[in-house]
């Protein structure tokens, strides 16, 4: 049995070797008849890494932090000089000041050195803006999950339905998952091509499922354009499914029934004329056009608002507005309503029809039972509660190593050669 330091050194030093070994294990799983290629479920396991979120920020935020540390250093030096001038015998206070100066000086130099070489880290959204960098590991991301906010990585896995074999595993330093779907799908196809298992696994009838975190118009266009039989719901799909009505409602002594905000007039109660670009409220008052703009899908959005004088004295304002008193203030707002004029069907609409179909609901119902037990095994049974390395390549090697162990377990339990 090799010493744990030898194993740790291998994991951190040879991520490429782990990737090659992971691929060979996938091939063995296929040879053992453990991969069905019927359905792949893609999901992510968000874990903290060996980096502190306290060292995160945009470049401007880090500059501000550096300047604050500089002020603290000057204050400590000033206090230390006062002690020297008074020839104070308070050696303990002098020692604490010296220690504070040393600690603050290290922090200042760390931030200053990073700022001298770093460039703004830009996000991947359409409206590109700067996201937070991290001094300790600038490839990691500030991630928010049901366990809180931390600095770490998102370990994404594609799991085959038949025996929960992980066919693709990658680590991403991104909090949002929708950017990871395309590289995961392309990674699966390329891996199958390298192993000689399929020229295009998606043309062989394999179904792909992922949760709402992977839904975006760009992803839907990619899935539709490449003929991938995928089921990725939008974040409103539960509201459209009558079977899931009231699913988020909590019951029991800890959750007594509370009256929520009452229902108000929906947009369907307003009369909208797209030709004249006008809108009339249920009380018969004309509304004014606040804005007309194009959304991300190429559709035109019309935003109307009721005039304050109309909404303020309207006998129906309690049925039309969540907060009728908002119209009492001259700086307030009347009832607002939006209409979207669709110029062409979007790829998101295409996916909505698929998800809302009887077949789509049946297929998507398998997603959780395929992928979630795998993450439970890796985190609870195998003890992967954080990534202990820094840098995307090393973290991906650690993630693939644990995923490889999951696959080896399946070979031991269900492999054809093991059974014989």
pLDDT value of position 84: 79
**Tokens of residue 326, six digits:** 């908002």
- Other Cβ atoms less than 10 A from the Cβ of 273: the count is 11
pLDDT, position 88: 62
Neighbours of 353 (CB within 10 A): 10
pTM: 0.78
The contacts found for 52-57 with CB under 8 angstroms, 24 or more apart, are 52/136, 52/151, 53/134, 53/142, 53/149, 53/150, 53/151, 55/110, 55/134, 55/135, 55/136, 55/151, 56/132, 56/133, 56/134, 56/135, 56/142, 56/151, 57/132, 57/133
pLDDT tens track of the chain, all 420 residues?
777 788 778 888 888 999 999 999 999 999 999 999 999 999 999 999 998 888 888 899 999 999 999 999 999 999 888 887 776 667 788 889 889 999 999 999 999 999 988 888 887 766 678 888 889 999 999 998 888 899 999 999 999 999 999 999 999 998 889 999 999 999 999 999 999 999 999 999 999 999 999 999 999 999 999 999 999 999 888 888 877 665 555 445 544 544 445 688 999 999 999 999 999 999 999 999 999 998 877 788 999 999 999 999 899 989 999 888 888 887 888 999 999 887 777 888 899 999 999 999 999 999 999 999 999 999 999 999 999 999 999 999 999 999 999 999 999 999 876 655
Cα 174 to Cα 172: distance, rounded to the nearest angstrom: 5
pLDDT at 245: 61
Predicted local confidence at residue 286, as pLDDT: 95
Strands (E), 126-182: 130-131, 133-134, 141-145, 148-160, 166-172
Q: Write down the domain spans for the chain.
A: 7-52+145-241+348-419, 59-119, 267-334
d(CA 57, CA 49): 17
Q: 152 forms bridges with which residues in the sheet?
A: 48, 141
Instruction: Tell me the longest C-alpha to C-alpha distance in the chain.
Output: 87
Structure-token match 């266009």, residue found: 221
Question: Cα dist. 48→30, 31, 113, 153, 320 in Å?
Answer: 32, 35, 25, 6, 46
Residue whose structure tokens are 């249920």? 282
How far the first Cα of the chain sits from its last, in Å, is: 28
Judged on CB neighbours under 10 Å (0-12, 13-18, 19+), 277 is middle
Closest Cα to residue 137, out of 44, 23, 51?
51
Q: 216: Cβ–Cβ under 8 A, 6 or more apart, which residues?
A: 178
Nearest alpha-carbon partner for 337 in 276, 261, 237, 269: 269
How many residues appear in the chain? 420
pLDDT of amino acid 330? 77
What pLDDT, on a 0 to 100 scale, did the predictor assign at position 248? 54
Integer Cα distance of 314 and 284 in angstroms: 10
Contact 66, 108 (CB under 8 A): yes
Do 234 and 348 form a contact (C-beta atoms < 8 A)?
A: yes
Q: In whole angstroms, what is the distance from residue 317 CA to residue 296 CA? A: 32
Q: d(Cα 41, Cα 29) in Å, to the nearest integer?
A: 17
> Going by C-beta distance under 8 Å and a sequence separation of 6 or more, which residues neighbour residue 56?
132, 133, 134, 135, 142, 151
- What pLDDT, on a 0 to 100 scale, did the predictor assign at position 259? 43
C-alpha to C-alpha distance for 266 and 160, rounded to whole angstroms: 43
CA-closest candidate to residue 389, choices 1, 13, 126, 6 = 13
Rounded-to-5 percentages of helix, strand, coil across the chain: 45, 20, 35
């Amino acid at each position: 049995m090799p010493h744990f330091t030898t194993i740790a050194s291998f994991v951190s030093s040879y991520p490429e070797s782990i990737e090659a070994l992971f691929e060979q294990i996938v091939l063995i799983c296929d040879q053992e008849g453990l991969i069905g290629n019927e359905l792949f479920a893609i999901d992510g396991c968000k874990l903290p890494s060996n980096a502190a979120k306290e060292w995160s920020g945009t470049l401007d935020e880090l500059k501000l932090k550096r300047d604050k540390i500089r002020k603290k250093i000057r204050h400590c030096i000033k206090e230390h000089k006062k002690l020297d001038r008074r020839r104070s015998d308070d050696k303990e206070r002098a020692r604490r000041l010296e220690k504070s100066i040393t600690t603050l000086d290290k922090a200042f130099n760390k931030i200053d050195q990073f700022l001298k070489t770093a460039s703004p880290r830009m996000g991947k959204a359409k409206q590109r803006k700067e996201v937070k960098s991290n001094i300790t590991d600038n490839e990691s991301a500030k991630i928010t999950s049901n366990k809180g906010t931390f600095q770490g990585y998102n370990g994404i896995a594609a799991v085959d339905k038949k025996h929960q074999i992980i066919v693709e595993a990658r680590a991403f330093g991104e909090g949002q998952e929708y950017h990871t779907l395309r590289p995961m799908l392309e990674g699966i196809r390329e891996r199958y091509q390298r192993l000689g298992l399929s020229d295009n696994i998606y043309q062989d009838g394999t179904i792909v499922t992922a949760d709402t975190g992977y839904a975006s118009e760009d992803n839907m266009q990619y899935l539709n354009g490449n003929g991938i039989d995928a089921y990725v719901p939008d974040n409103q799909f539960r509201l459209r499914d009558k079977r899931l009505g009231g699913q988020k409602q909590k019951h029991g002594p800890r959750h007594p029934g509370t009256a929520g905000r009452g229902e108000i007039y929906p947009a369907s109660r307003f009369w909208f004329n797209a030709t004249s670009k006008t809108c009339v409220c249920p009380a018969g008052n004309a509304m004014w056009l606040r804005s007309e703009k194009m959304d991300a899908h190429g559709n035109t959005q019309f935003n109307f608002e009721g005039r304050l004088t109309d909404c303020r004295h309207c006998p129906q304002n309690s049925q039309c507005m969540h907060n009728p008193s908002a119209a009492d203030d001259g700086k307030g707002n009347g009832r607002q309503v939006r209409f979207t004029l669709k110029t062409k069907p979007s790829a998101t609409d295409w996916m909505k029809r698929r998800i809302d179909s009887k077949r789509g609901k049946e297929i998507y119902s398998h997603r959780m039972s395929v992928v979630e037990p795998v993450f439970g095994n890796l985190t609870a049974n195998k003890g992967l509660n954080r990534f202990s390395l820094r840098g995307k390549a090393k973290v991906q090697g650690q993630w693939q190593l644990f995923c490889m162990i999951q696959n080896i377990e399946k070979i031991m339990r269900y492999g054809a050669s093991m059974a014989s």
